């Protein structure tokens, strides 16, 4: 599949909100209550929150486009934008989402390779992420991409406490 990856700016906020809500909803709606989904979507994808994240110099968003359509997005964090204190040698993939109709065509791998390219350019030693223990599809993908489970942390979806595995990939050269 032919694609291109472009960095997001503040002007992309509305598109990011739309794609962010859509992909989060379609990924997790079947395993979570409507109330918890609604609460999380409102908290995480409201314009004020997204503008704050897009303005953070230590967070970087990218869209992957197929022709002129956004097929998915990537959010990276470094330094104190990371959601856990993992130190300055680490880069976090906080979000990597491909819209359903574009999954399994290599676009997730393309975004992951983008994260690796940026981590190496910034001289980071490892990439890490948190993934819900019940998200078997994503865990399979990360394992295929060379990530290993190293621990866990707590994530709140609405009022439900959930366990995320921490997965890490060490970068060479």
Ligand X SMILES: CC(C)(COP(=O)(O)OP(=O)(O)OC[C@H]1O[C@@H](n2cnc3c(N)ncnc32)[C@H](O)[C@@H]1OP(=O)(O)O)[C@@H](O)C(=O)NCCC(=O)NCCS
How far the first Cα of the chain sits from its last, in Å, is 29
142 catalytic, yes or no?
yes
Contacting residue, 42, 87, 88, 106, with ligand X by CB under 6 A: 106
CA angle at residue 84 from 10 to 54, to 5 degrees?
0
User: What is the nearest approach in angstroms of ligand X to the Cβ of residue 3?
Assistant: 10
User: Measured from the CB atom, is 78 or 111 closer to ligand X?
Assistant: 111
Binding residue count for ligand X, defined by CB under 6 A: 19
CA distance 120 to 111: 14
Element (H, E) at 42: helix 34-44
Closest CA to 135 of 119, 118, 147: 147
CB atoms within 10 A of CB 43: 12
**Region binding ligand X by CB under 6 A among candidate stretches 80-88, 97-105, 116-124, 152-160:** 97-105
User: Measured from the CB atom, is 61 or 97 closer to ligand X?
Assistant: 97
Candidates 62, 73, 142, 165; catalytic one: 142
- What are the residues binding ligand X (CB under 6 A)? 23, 27, 96-98, 103-109, 131, 135, 137-138, 140-141, 144
């Amino acid at each position: 599949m032919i694609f291109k990856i472009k960095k997001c700016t503040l002007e992309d906020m509305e598109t990011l909100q739309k794609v962010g809500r859509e992909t989060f909803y379609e990924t997790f709606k079947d395993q979570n209550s409507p109330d918890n989904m609604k609460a999380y979507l409102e908290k995480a994808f409201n314009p004020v929150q997204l503008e704050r994240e897009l303005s953070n110099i230590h967070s970087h968003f990218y869209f992957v486009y197929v022709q002129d359509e956004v097929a998915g997005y990537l959010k990276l964090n470094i330094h104190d934008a990371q959601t856990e204190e993992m130190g300055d040698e680490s880069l976090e993939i906080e979000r990597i989402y491909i819209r359903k109709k574009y999954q399994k065509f290599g676009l997730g791998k393309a975004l992951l390779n983008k994260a690796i390219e940026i981590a190496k350019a910034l001289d980071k030693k490892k990439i890490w992420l948190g993934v819900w223990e019940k998200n078997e599809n994503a865990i399979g993908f990360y394992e295929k991409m060379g990530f290993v489970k190293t621990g866990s942390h707590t994530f709140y979806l609405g009022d439900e406490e959930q366990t995320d595995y921490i997965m890490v990939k060490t970068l060479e050269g």
